[in-house]
């Protein structure tokens, strides 16, 4: 009979996320992970598998805790306010990131996904979900007249996605509020409904 795990799985995954997020996949060894997680290397292998398997679990955990949580909180808001709240939080998080870790998902897209087909699919799947969130908001806003219909919802969702990625990458080297807010202002101008004169 297998012994029950003697650690809090959620807590050790949080610690693994922090380690990978701060140092990246390549620079993190299984020994680094074990030390950060407060486990022996044997316990890490037994509980999660090799470094790649730990990274996959950590990335899934990160996505659920960040994007999944954010969508859950914002999607019920009026569409334009949901998009604004999403970007306000992203900019605040980016500016508050003293270690300039950026977004673990974006970091994965740049470091791991180009060399690993499974991670290409994982990252692409999450980015499709992010685009879907923006698309639903835009479509709902176009339907109720609070978002411009001059551009189709899919194109606007992709523009929002690319702006999000730009913010997350730029913030790692230039965490300047005016710069980051300046990226989103023209996009919100595109979203503003036409005014009749």
For the segment 12-38, the average pLDDT, to the nearest whole number, is 93
Domains and CATH numbers, the chain: 7-59 (1.10.10.60), 75-197 (1.10.357.10)
Residue 194: the pLDDT is: 78
Question: How many other CB atoms sit within 10 Å of the CB of residue 184?
Answer: 20
Is the pLDDT at 175 greater than 80? The verdict is: yes
Residue 138: the pLDDT is: 98
Question: How many other CB atoms sit within 10 Å of the CB of residue 155?
Answer: 12
Is the pLDDT at 197 greater than 80? The verdict is: no
Rounded Cα distance between 59 and 160, Å, is 22
- Rounded alpha-carbon distances, angstroms, from residue 191 to 90, 111, 197: 18, 33, 18
For the segment 164-176, the average pLDDT, to the nearest whole number, is 95
**pLDDT band at 9, cuts 50/70/90?**
confident
Exposed/middle/buried for residue 151 (C-beta within 10 Å: 0-12, 13-18, 19+) = middle
**pLDDT band at 196, cuts 50/70/90?**
low
Rounded Cα distance between 74 and 143, Å, is 18
Is the pLDDT at 3 greater than 50? The verdict is: no
Is the pLDDT at 159 greater than 90? The verdict is: yes
Rounded Cα distance between 3 and 55, Å, is 24
For the segment 149-159, the average pLDDT, to the nearest whole number, is 97
Is the pLDDT at 7 greater than 90? The verdict is: no
Rounded Cα distance between 161 and 128, Å, is 9
Percent of the chain clearing pLDDT 90 (strictly above): 88
109 neighbors 123 (Cβ within 8 angstroms): yes
Residue 1: the pLDDT is: 42
pLDDT per residue as tens digits for the range 51-109: 999 999 999 999 999 998 999 999 999 999 999 999 999 999 999 999 999 999 999 99
Residue 90: the pLDDT is: 96
Show contacts of 124-132: CB within 8 Å, 24+ apart.
126/63, 126/67, 127/161, 129/67, 129/71, 130/67, 130/161, 130/164, 131/157, 131/158, 131/160, 131/161, 132/157
pLDDT per residue as tens digits for the range 26-35: 999 999 999 9
Rounded Cα distance between 175 and 167, Å, is 9
Is the pLDDT at 195 greater than 80? The verdict is: no
């Amino acid at each position: 009979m297998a012994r029950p795990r003697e650690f809090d799985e959620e807590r050790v995954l949080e610690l693994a996320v922090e380690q990978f997020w701060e140092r990246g996949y390549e620079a993190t060894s299984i020994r680094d992970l074990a030390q950060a997680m407060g486990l022996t290397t044997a316990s890490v292998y037994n509980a999660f598998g090799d470094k790649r398997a730990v990274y996959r679990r950590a990335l899934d955990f990160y996505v659920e805790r960040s994007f999944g949580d954010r969508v859950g909180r914002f999607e019920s808001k009026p569409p334009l306010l949901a998009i604004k709240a999403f970007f306000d939080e992203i900019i605040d998080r980016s500016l508050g990131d003293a270690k300039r870790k950026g977004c673990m998902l974006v970091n994965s897209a740049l470091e791991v996904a180009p060399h690993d087909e499974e991670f290409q699919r994982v990252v692409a799947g999450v980015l499709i979900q992010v685009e879907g969130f923006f698309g639903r908001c835009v479509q709902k806003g176009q339907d109720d007249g609070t978002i411009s219909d001059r551009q189709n919802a899919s194109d606007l969702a992709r523009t929002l996605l690319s702006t999000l990625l730009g913010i997350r990458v730029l913030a790692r080297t230039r965490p300047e509020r005016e710069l980051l807010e300046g990226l989103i202002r023209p996009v919100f101008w595109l979203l503003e409904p036409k005014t009749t004169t």
